[in-house]
Amino acid sequence: MMESVGILGGTGPAGRGVAIRLASCGYEVVLGSRDAVRASGVADAMSVRGEGTVRGDTNEVAADCDLVVVATPWDSAVATVSALRDRLAGKVVISMVNALAREAREMVPLYPARGSMAAQIAHALPDSVIVGAFHHLPASLMEDLDSGLDADVVIFSDDPDARSKVNEIVDSMAGLRGVIAGSMSLASPIEAFTAVCISVNIRHKAHSYVTLAGLQH
Residue numbers at the binding site for ligand NAP (CB under 6 A): 9, 11-15, 33-35, 38-39, 71-74, 76, 80, 96-98, 134-135, 137-139
Closest contact distance (angstroms) between CB of 216 and ligand NAP is 26
Question: Which residues is 76 bridged to in the sheet?
Answer: none
By C-beta, is 182 or 193 nearer to ligand NAP? 193
Cα–Cα nearest to 163, from 146, 176, 181, 175: 181
Closest contact distance (angstroms) between CB of 8 and ligand NAP is 8
By C-beta, is 11 or 24 nearer to ligand NAP? 11
**Using CA of residue 170, residue 45, residue 15, residue 82, what is the dihedral sign?**
negative
Closest contact distance (angstroms) between CB of 197 and ligand NAP is 9
By C-beta, is 25 or 210 nearer to ligand NAP? 210
What is the rounded radius of gyration, in angstroms, for the C-alpha atoms of the chain? 16
Cα 118 from chain centre? 11
Q: How far is CA 104 from CA 5, 116, 206, in A?
A: 36, 23, 17
3-state secondary structure of 151: strand
Closest contact distance (angstroms) between CB of 122 and ligand NAP is 15
By C-beta, is 15 or 175 nearer to ligand NAP? 15
Q: Report the residue closest to ligand NAP, judged by CB.
A: 12
